[in-house]
Amino acid sequence: MNEQLITHGADWTIKHLFVYPNEFIYWGLTIVMYPYMTGLVAGAFVLSSLYHVFGQDDLKDLAKFALVFSLALLPVAMMPLMLHLQQPFRGIHVMFTPHFTSAIAAFGIVFSTYAMIVLSEIWFVYRKYFVEQVHALKDSDSRVLRMKRLVYVVLSLGAFDLSDEAIAKDKKAVTILAAIGIPVACFLHGYAGFIFGSVKANALWMSPLMPVIFIMSAIVSGIALCMLTYIIIMEWKKFSTTLARGRGDDSVKIIAGVELDVIKKATRYLIGFLIAAITLELLDLIFRGYTAMKSWDILREVMYKEDFFKIFILQYGFGNLLPFLMLMIPGAKIKRTAIALALILFGVFMMRWNVVIGGQAFSLSFAGFMDYDVPFIPHHLELYKEGILGALTVAATPFCLFYIINKFVPSLKRS
């Protein structure tokens, strides 16, 4: 078979027993990454809103970081979709000719609404800083600093008013935007769940609980990623301060104290959402078993036999139960929390995997199974896009973007 005639899916699908000839795992790793990344975006935003709307002052430092990080994650939510499309250059058709009976058609609208909210909220939060920078860099000599000032002039959009009245208006705008942002963020992700939950042909996906399950696990993963990134950055700061000033210096202790404090407070919210997510997932599972519709025979086969390890050991065991215990047992320090957070992120990833790939692990004929052999070595472009390397590209991008954005919008400065 030459390069031109690749049957999409044939490279990574292994069929057992009777599967229809056209059935392959069409939605692979990229589509696992898609709800995962969108979930992180939504979760990061909800975390930042906990401070901005509900006045949870203990989350202030983390909230600022989470908001900017959700901006870095935003373009990445679209990346796996673009990698997945067979005709990526036509992706824009979703915006131009949306067909509104399709769940995916809402993507353009929900996504851009959400992007506008995040961008404008960040602008209102940092406007004061932009203007201050414009003034501070006024008389600088170096070309780089002059360029930097120009960037800040553009970023301030010409609104240089720093009177108390103007600042108060900024704050009000942030609160309003964050408040609108929560339902939009939930909608953004809930509708990702709807994309799956509304596929009536797929016995595993079809469930009205799907959007809610997706929202809960999204918030869990978003908070966990923000906390973990925060820990890594603070540890790095601690390390560099230790190198500069020695281990016993007061500033090192202050950093460590603040870090632990923030993380402890955020953990409470994380555990709350984690419990909600697990409860809903178990409810879905129990309900399917109890009602035992026609599809239950094959679903049971997939859940308890074919995918048992992935669902019950990796997802529920290592991804939910273990980190839950690690966080609940008193006396959690940074290291233990960090490991628990990484496990939670892994757990949510496995949940996405078990939904997306698990939903295609059985044939529509209910008489056969399909195994997913994740493409690793890219022999051709499609195997890169749909394989582990593509997924790693997607996973690494938000951190690169955050590095650049953070150069102009210092989200890690302590208040």
Partner 1 sequence: MTISRRNLLKKTLVGTAVAALPALPLGAIKFLSPAEAKAAVSESKTRYAFLVDTNKCVGCGFCVKACKKENDVPYDSPVTRTWVERYLITKDGKSHIDSPKGARDGFTSQLQENQHETVDPKEIDKAFFVPKLCNQCESPACVQVCPVGATYQTNDGVVLIDRTWCIGCGYCIMACPYGVRYFHPKYKVADKCTFCYHRLAKGLKTACVDACSFGARQVCDLKNPEDPATKIILTERVAVLKDEYGTKPHVFYLGLDRNVR
Q: How far is the CB of 87 from partner 1 (least distance, A)?
A: 4
Q: How many angstroms separate the Cα of 114 from the Cα of each of 50, 95, 118, 212, 236?
A: 17, 15, 6, 19, 32
Listed in sequence order, the residues at least 6 apart from 192 whose beta carbon sits closer than 8 Å to its beta carbon are: 34, 35, 38, 39, 211, 214
- The token duo for 309 is 């390890």
Q: Which of 89/290 has CB closer to partner 1?
A: 89
Place of tokens 């994309």: 195
- The token duo for 245 is 């000033």
Contact between 33 and 391 (Cβ < 8 Å)? yes
Q: How far is the CB of 131 from partner 1 (least distance, A)?
A: 11
Q: How far is the CB of 310 from partner 1 (least distance, A)?
A: 20
Q: Which of 221/354 has CB closer to partner 1?
A: 354
**Hey, CA dihedral for 380, 385, 388, 392, is it positive or negative?**
positive
Q: How far is the CB of 371 from partner 1 (least distance, A)?
A: 12
Residue 379 parent element (H or E) = none
Where would I find the beta strands (DSSP E) of 284-407? 368-372
Contact between 128 and 156 (Cβ < 8 Å)? no
What is the DSSP track for 256-298? Answer: HHHHHHHHHHHHHHHHHHHHHHHHHHHHHHHHHHHH--TTHHH
Residue 15 parent element (H or E) = strand 13-17
Place of tokens 């673009």: 82
Q: How far is the CB of 307 from partner 1 (least distance, A)?
A: 18
Q: How far is the CB of 275 from partner 1 (least distance, A)?
A: 31
Q: How many angstroms separate the Cα of 24 from the Cα of each of 60, 116, 211, 353, 389?
A: 47, 37, 25, 16, 21
**Separation of CA 296 from chain center:** 31
Task: List interacting residues with partner 1 (CB under 8 A).
Answer: 1, 4-10, 15-24, 26-27, 81, 84-87, 90-91, 93-94, 96-99, 101-105, 107, 157-161, 169, 195, 198-202, 294, 363-368
Q: Which of 92/400 has CB closer to partner 1?
A: 92
Residue type (1 letter), 185:
A
Q: Which of 102/251 has CB closer to partner 1?
A: 102
What is the DSSP track for 344-375? Answer: HHHHHHHHHHHHHTGGGSB-TTSSEEEEE---
Q: Which of 201/243 has CB closer to partner 1?
A: 201
Q: H/E/C letters for each residue in 28-77?
A: CHHHHHHHHHHHHHHHHHHHHHHHHCCCCHHHHHHHHHHHHHHHHHHHHH
Q: Which of 7/240 has CB closer to partner 1?
A: 7
Q: Which of 7/279 has CB closer to partner 1?
A: 7
Q: How far is the CB of 214 from partner 1 (least distance, A)?
A: 16
Q: Which of 27/402 has CB closer to partner 1?
A: 27
Q: Which of 96/290 has CB closer to partner 1?
A: 96
Q: How far is the CB of 96 from partner 1 (least distance, A)?
A: 5
Q: How far is the CB of 15 from partner 1 (least distance, A)?
A: 6
